[in-house]
Amino acid sequence: MLWQGVPGYNNSIMEDKRENRKVLVDADACPVTNIIIRTAKKYGVRVILFFDTSHIFDDDYAEVVVTGKGRDAADFVLVNNAKQGDIVVTHDYGLAAMACSKGAKAIHPNGFIYTEETLDRLLFERHLSAKVRRAGGRTSGPRRRAQADNERFEKAFARLLMEH
């Protein structure tokens, strides 16, 4: 969006922000990596994929960052590289919360965009599920991924790319 004629607004600043914006992907077990790369390339947005050492990935468009194999190592490197205006793709609610606190937008591979309200609820549900498991109970896992999930993600991701 250009704000021509508005006193004190510099359109070149907005263009610079768009050029510096990037997509950061928690790429360990990410089912939409190819969709992310294809869509971001169409919009000319830089993509950085974060993996731990147990994964190998090569792409001509995306930058690949390999981190140590420690628990959440890729998550911490990713969030340390996130800034306001970036888009973070992750299924990890905790990582999404940290990214949003830095002013980034976060989207789940199923296509829903994290908000403060949804993150509060999701983190609380994760806490309750962990308590049940620690007490010896069982909780259900994620449902099987469907083509509709990919389509929903691609539409929501493209909308995020167009918004910024």
- Please tell me the distance from the alpha carbon of residue 11 to that of residue 145, in angstroms, as a whole number: 42
Residue 108 lies in a domain: yes
Q: Which of 71, 64, 62, 69 is nearest to 95 (CA)?
A: 71
Q: Which of 62, 63, 66, 64 is nearest to 54 (CA)?
A: 66
How far from 83 is each of 3, 33, 53, 55, CA to CA, in Å? Answer: 23, 21, 24, 25
Instruction: Give per-residue pLDDT as tens, 4-37.
Output: 333 343 333 333 344 588 999 999 889 999 999 9
Return the DSSP state at 113.
B
Structural domain count, the chain: 1
Instruction: Give per-residue pLDDT as tens, 123-161.
Output: 567 656 677 677 887 767 677 889 999 999 999 999 999
For residues 93 and 122, is the Cβ–Cβ distance under 8 A?
A: yes
Residue 90 lies in a domain: yes
The encoded tokens of residue 27 equal 């790429």
- Please tell me the distance from the alpha carbon of residue 76 to that of residue 87, in angstroms, as a whole number: 16
Which domain, by its residues, includes 95? 20-136+145-163
Residue 43 lies in a domain: yes
Residue 33 lies in a domain: yes
Residue 100 lies in a domain: yes
Instruction: Give per-residue pLDDT as tens, 110-122.
Output: 999 998 878 666 6
Phi/psi for 45 (5° steps) reads -105, 135
Count of CB atoms situated within 10 Å of the CB of 118: 15
Residue 77 lies in a domain: yes
For the chain, what's the residue count? 164
Residue 48 lies in a domain: yes
Residue 83 lies in a domain: yes
Does residue 123 or residue 63 have the better pLDDT? 63
| CA R_g for the chain | 17
Residue 33 is predicted with a pLDDT of 95
- Residue 82 pLDDT > 70, yes or no? yes
The CATH number of the domain holding residue 44 is 3.40.50
